Homo-oligomer: A and B are copies of this chain.
Amino acid sequence: MGLWGGRFQGRSDRDAWLLNASIGVDQRLAKQDIKGSIAWAEQLSQHGILSPAEHEQIQNGLNQILDEFNAHQFEFQAGDEDIHTAVERRLYEIIGATAGKLHTGRSRNDQVATDFRLWMLDNLPDLVSAIRDLQTRLVERAEGDLGVVMPSYTHLQRAQPVLTSHWWLSFFWPLERDILRLKQTMDLCGVLPLGSGAVAGTSMTVDREAMAQALGFDSISQNSMDAVSDRDFVAQFLFNASLCAVHLSKFAEQIILFSSSEFGFITLDDAFATGSSLMPQKKNPDVFELTRGKTGSLLGLLTGFMATLKGLPSTYDKDLQEDKQAVFQAFDTLMAIIPVFSGAIVTLRINADKMAAAIDPSMFATDVADVLVRAGIPFREAHGMVGEAVKLADETGRGIHQLSTKEWDAIIPTLNLDLSNVFSPQESIKLHSMVGGTAPQAVSVQINTARRCLNAK
């Protein structure tokens, strides 16, 4: 039994039917579909379209179907084109002809838009929680690794010494922005389209605001033609998911780099590494590589859906059916990746000695320049002088900390500089004490700020 056969003479072509059917994907909306129908039936009843007895029948029937889904006992049938058809078919089986009254004044167009937004509202909080958990692990590591110093990099070249805690926290803030974006997307989802009918609005009297409240929406849509085709919330979520994945991918990139033999800053726990079928010595960071790889795929989901959206000629077009597959895949991917990060971060070992050893003396060049600046030399000149010192050291196979006073004096003629305190990671780090800097006290402030974010819910 389908929902639309009346005017049709022939049967569907089998290939066409299979292409058209969405039940394989949208069955995941089952609970939301039933919740939406319960709210709809409530309104039909309130406004006399259903008698109290009919309403009770329908409500009980829907609740029974909900129980069947919850108990994983719902049985799909070959003719179930989509989740809406499947639920209505089952309702007929349970309560008979009254089932046919449920769809009054409603279309699958506003129904699926409602179901899908409801699914987002039900599920995005889990994603937020997973991110929050990862952020918590980051703050904990920042607290635990406070004494450890490491080189920072720009252009993948050693730049300046930083606290490892500062590095950990540099992954906290992108995730904080991701959460803000997800919340903005949840706000966007909180606009109820139900009552928009197929395109022109419902022809029945219903209280849309009351439905919104009953279903947990914040407000109702203002234009039915827009409401049935608006998938901004899908695009926005796919963007959020992609950007979050980009953040994780960049994090993954650094873990992969830092667990290479050449860097050696990090040792992954065996539980989060993988071996080689050929090379017995290998210990590979597969899950982090997969994070990078899957980030590409997530970007593809965003791009693909935007390209689909771009081409729509009217209000609701069937092209939109591609929306759910994309969202589910993006959601599932992040929900698979993020806990692995949380687990891996907690268990990985920081090799503080290797980090410290990687802070080479040239990394204090800026600090030397700052000494000159404090002695009155314009920074740009100081930069040039220290550059020369680096060149001299390079050419003679030394570090700049090994240049003699005489050599320094040749470069910086008029000053007698004391550079004795400069060539120390701790001293260098301490200099960067403004908010957001890597000095211990600034990092402590940062940890407190991060903790406040976590506690803000």
A224-B438, A280-B383, A386-B6 known; A155 and B104 CB under 8 Å?
no
Asked whether, in the complex, the Cβ of B152 is within 8 Å of the Cβ of A271, the reply is no
A15-B339, A156-B260, A322-B296 known; A437 and B10 CB under 8 Å?
no
A243-B232, A304-B303 known; A380 and B99 CB under 8 Å?
yes
Q: Which residues of B contact A383 (CB under 8 A)?
A: 3-4, 6, 103, 277-278, 280
Tell me whether A421 is interfacial, beta carbon within 8 Å. no
Asked whether, in the complex, the Cβ of B7 is within 8 Å of the Cβ of A434, the reply is no
Asked whether, in the complex, the Cβ of A315 is within 8 Å of the Cβ of B170, the reply is yes
Given contacts A156-B317, A169-B223, 18 further A-B contacts (CB under 8 A): A4-B387, A5-B387, A16-B287, A20-B287, A104-B379, A158-B261, A177-B188, A177-B230, A196-B437, A198-B278, A224-B432, A224-B437, A245-B310, A250-B313, A254-B313, A280-B368, A293-B322, A297-B322
In the assembled complex, the Cα of A198 lies from the Cα of B188 at a distance in Å of 37
- Tell which of A71-79, A120-128, A355-363 binds the partner: A355-363
State how many angstroms separate the Cβ of A82 from the closest Cβ of chain B. 9
Tell me whether A133 is interfacial, beta carbon within 8 Å. no
Kindly identify which residue among B99, B366, B437 contacts A278, using a CB–CB cutoff of 8 Å.
B366
Stoichiometry, as copies per complex, reads 4
Asked whether, in the complex, the Cβ of A306 is within 8 Å of the Cβ of B304, the reply is no
Q: Which residues of B contact A166 (CB under 8 A)?
A: 200, 223-225
Tell me whether A145 is interfacial, beta carbon within 8 Å. no
Interface size of A by CB at 8 A reads 199
- Tell which of A27-35, A61-69, A105-113 binds the partner: A105-113
Asked whether, in the complex, the Cβ of B290 is within 8 Å of the Cβ of A19, the reply is yes
